[in-house]
């Protein structure tokens, strides 16, 4: 629909352009003819030209200058023709609406021709004086003018092309009204269709979040009981591999339930007009995770500009940054780095680690829920962390991208 609208607009623009160009060319032909006739049409029908080609007896001299200089022989408008566009055509003389004024070198004005009713002679003279310093062009939208010299005098001829341009302006008006109507109809049509298309998706998203919230609430109680039972077993029967394994699994399940709760409470409206210091959030998260990096012999480096403020929910942003540090801790082999920089009005956060990417596949899939890198087997990962990060970043009007460069896995976030 949009393509058809653009095509129609282009077609109407071409038609109007052609019509306007034709009207301008016709006006230039007439003003050129008047310039060759000292600013006015000849009156009456000329006598027949003798067979020998000499001027008829008693005829007025034809030419450009007041002395009757011979006009250029190549100009078709100066040959005394009686055709539809010739200077002797009665039809042309009666149909053209124009006026011409002559100005001598002292600025004195003389009316040469006044064949127009849209102006009084005073109004026409004022317009001619205004245009006397120009050459050729349009004035008042529909009036074509030409300024030319004959001898020491300056002539200003203005003709009315309103009738000739009326069709073009009507087409332009109708097309403009039609285009606005099409835009309005398209807007309401697309709005209605979009509502029908996206309402089921929005309802499904609401049901999913409601399910996640209910699942989190229901799972907390049995997890608490299982954790207490593991502690009781260890007190009664002493430490054992079974009890330790049970405690680890309970911890992993509790962490997963917490992430499900984060997804459940997240809404697009959470990116409120709150301001938080992203520099402090990142530095604190990296400091807290540094012992875990050291336990895996992974060096970590953090470079952050001071006082980087962003608008967003501080709690959600802290949890998102925590997910980034956790992801780097799990997959880094020897090193990880965090960089926070201002870039004009934007903020760029880059997280890099030397993860094994041999079986990573499509890196953009790491933002899908329950999706992990190909080398995540055996690691404590739910596939929900980066999905949560993406949702938080999008709610803040930013974007996040995953890529691999120089053997490093990169997460670039722009806010």
User: Over the stretch 265-291, which tens digit does the pLDDT of each residue have?
Assistant: 554 444 455 678 888 888 988 888 888
Integer Cα distance of 131 and 138 in angstroms: 10
Residue-level pLDDT at 146: 92
Residue-level pLDDT at 223: 73
| Summary mean pLDDT of the chain | 76
Counting the structural domains of the chain, the total is 2
Q: Within a domain: residue 188? A: no
In the listed set 160, 179, 200, which residue is the last one of a domain according to the structure? 160
Q: Within a domain: residue 240? A: no
Q: Within a domain: residue 208? A: no
Structure tokens at 152: 């020491």
The residue among 206 and 39 whose pLDDT is bigger is 39
**pLDDT over threshold 80, residue 5:** no
Residue range 83-112, pLDDT digits in tens: 555 556 677 777 889 999 999 988 899 999
Q: Which H or E run contains 338?
A: strand 335-343
Residue range 167-192, pLDDT digits in tens: 777 777 777 777 778 778 877 877 77
CATH number, domain at 354? 3.30.565.10
278 in the same domain as 133: no
The residue among 165 and 410 whose pLDDT is bigger is 410
275 in the same domain as 154: no
The residue among 263 and 122 whose pLDDT is bigger is 122
In the listed set 113, 144, 160, which residue is the last one of a domain according to the structure? 160
293 in the same domain as 156: no
User: What 8-state DSSP symbol labels residue 121?
Assistant: H
Most confident of 141-150, 271-280, 316-325: 141-150
CA 116 to chain centre: 47
Pairing mode, strands 98-103 and 153-160: antiparallel
Residue-level pLDDT at 36: 86
Residue-level pLDDT at 61: 41
280 in the same domain as 146: no
C-alpha distances (whole Å) from 130 to each of 8, 31, 119, 133, 156 are 39, 18, 15, 7, 10
10 in the same domain as 148: yes
Of 271, 284, 283, which Cα lies nearest the Cα of 393? 271
Percent of the residues in the chain that have a pLDDT greater than 70, as a whole number: 73
Q: Within a domain: residue 184? A: no
Integer Cα distance of 226 and 217 in angstroms: 15
Q: Model confidence at 220, in pLDDT bands (50, 70, 90)?
A: low
Flag the least confident range among 244-258, 312-326, 362-376: 362-376
396 in the same domain as 276: yes
Residue-level pLDDT at 2: 60
* pTM exceeding 0.75: no
CA angle 27, 33, 34 (to 5 degrees): 90
Q: Within a domain: residue 153? A: yes
275 in the same domain as 140: no
Residue-level pLDDT at 82: 44
In the listed set 125, 160, 195, which residue is the last one of a domain according to the structure? 160
291 in the same domain as 151: no
Q: Within a domain: residue 365? A: yes
Integer Cα distance of 237 and 276 in angstroms: 49
Domain that holds residue 117: 2-47+59-160
Q: Within a domain: residue 26? A: yes
134 in the same domain as 277: no
Q: Within a domain: residue 78? A: yes
């Amino acid at each position: 629909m949009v393509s058809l609208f653009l095509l129609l607009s282009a077609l109407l623009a071409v038609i109007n352009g052609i019509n306007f160009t034709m009207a301008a060319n016709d006006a230039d032909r007439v003003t050129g003819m008047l310039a060759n006739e000292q600013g006015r049409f000849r009156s009456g029908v000329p006598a027949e030209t003798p067979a020998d080609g000499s001027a008829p007896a008693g005829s007025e001299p034809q030419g450009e200058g007041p002395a009757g200089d011979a006009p250029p022989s190549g100009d078709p408008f100066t040959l005394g023709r009686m055709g539809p566009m010739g200077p002797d055509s009665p039809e042309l003389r009666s149909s053209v609406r124009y006026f011409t004024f002559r100005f001598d070198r002292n600025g004195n004005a003389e009316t040469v021709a006044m064949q127009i009713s849209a102006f009084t002679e005073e109004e026409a003279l004022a317009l001619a004086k205004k245009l006397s310093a120009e050459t050729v062009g349009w004035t008042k939208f529909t009036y074509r003018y030409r300024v030319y010299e004959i001898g020491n005098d300056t002539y200003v001829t203005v003709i009315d092309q309103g009738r000739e341009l009326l069709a073009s302006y009507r087409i332009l008006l109708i097309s403009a009204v039609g285009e606005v109507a099409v835009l309005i109809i398209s807007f309401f049509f697309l709005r209605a269709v979009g509502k029908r298309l996206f309402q089921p998706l929005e309802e499904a998203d609401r049901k999913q979040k409601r399910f996640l919230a209910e699942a989190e609430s229901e799972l907390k109680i049995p997890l608490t009981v299982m954790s207490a039972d593991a502690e009781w077993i260890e007190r009664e029967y002493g430490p054992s591999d079974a009890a330790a394994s049970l405690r680890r699994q309970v911890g992993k399940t509790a962490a997963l339930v917490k992430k499900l709760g984060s997804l459940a409470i997240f809404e697009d409206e959470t990116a409120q007009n709150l301001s938080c210091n992203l520099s402090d959030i990142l530095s604190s998260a990296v400091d807290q995770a540094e012992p875990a990096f050291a336990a895996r012999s992974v060096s970590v480096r953090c470079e952050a500009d001071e006082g980087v403020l962003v608008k967003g929910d501080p709690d959600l942003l802290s949890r998102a940054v925590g997910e980034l540090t956790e992801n780097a801790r799990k997959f880094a082999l020897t090193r990880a780095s965090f960089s926070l920089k201002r870039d004009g009005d934007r903020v760029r956060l880059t997280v890099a680690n030397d993860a094994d990417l041999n079986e990573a596949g499509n890196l953009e899939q790491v933002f899908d829920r329950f999706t992990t890198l190909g080398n995540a087997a055996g690691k404590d990962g739910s596939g929900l962390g980066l999905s949560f990060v993406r949702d938080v970043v999008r709610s803040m009007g930013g974007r996040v991208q995953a890529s691999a460069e120089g053997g490093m896995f990169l997460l670039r976030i722009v806010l």
